[in-house]
Structure 1
């Protein structure tokens, strides 16, 4: 299984409702991409307090690297990804992505 991990530093003027809508769009892609297993996301509740501004994030689990590739090429992913970039501090500078084979 591949775990796609995304951390975002959203601009301060972005409402939690807007962030939730973007995350909902990403989760809805599940029905359109074979091998998309699950998506979880939200605001950090870490008691450690070392988020360094990356207060929101999500994970998406995929059956394979091929399923992740199909997701990355899907037009709905590109649209939601564009919204992440547009609302993140510094565009792509405010986004971290890790993909792990778990």
Structure 2
């Protein structure tokens, strides 16, 4: 697969503040998922909670993953008014954040 044609994954790890209720977290996640309907370069959205037995999560409890067709699509997403508004709100509920963008590589054995 050509380098330019590979999708880009946007991975967001989050640790919510201790006083954020599960109900509020659920609302925030629904609003995050709705961004895929508002921002064209965002092709998909998945999320989940840490279930690792290794206990190496360093306090991060939630993983959010979005798929984009290009790094330019992520730049468009980041600057989009719907994302800017949502991110400002969302970040106010978090203690810690890590964001990583990468192009998946398939290993041929």
- TM bin (shorter chain): 0.7 to 0.9
1:4-56 CA-to-partner distances (Å, cap 9, x unmatched) read 01111111111122122112112111122223111111321112221110011
Task: Confirm whether residue 50 of structure 1 aligns to residue 56 of structure 2.
Answer: yes
After superposing on structure 2, the runs of 4+ consecutive aligned residues of structure 1 that deviate more than 2 Å are: none
Alignment TM-score, normalising by the size of structure 1: 0.86
Q: Provide structure 1 residue ranges, at least 5 long, that are not aligned to the other structure.
A: none
Residues matched between the structures, number: 98
- TM-score, length-scaled by structure 2: 0.81
Other-structure match for 2:107: none
Measured on the aligned residues, the alpha-carbon RMSD in Å equals 1.3
Q: Does 1:78 align with 2:80?
A: no
Q: Does 1:35 align with 2:41?
A: yes
Higher helix proportion (structure 1 or 2): 1
Higher-Rg member (1/2): 2
How far 1:84 sits from its partner (Å)? Answer: 2.4
Quick one: distance in 1 between partners of 2:83 and 2:41? 14
Q: Which moved more, 1:59-68 or 1:25-34?
A: 25-34
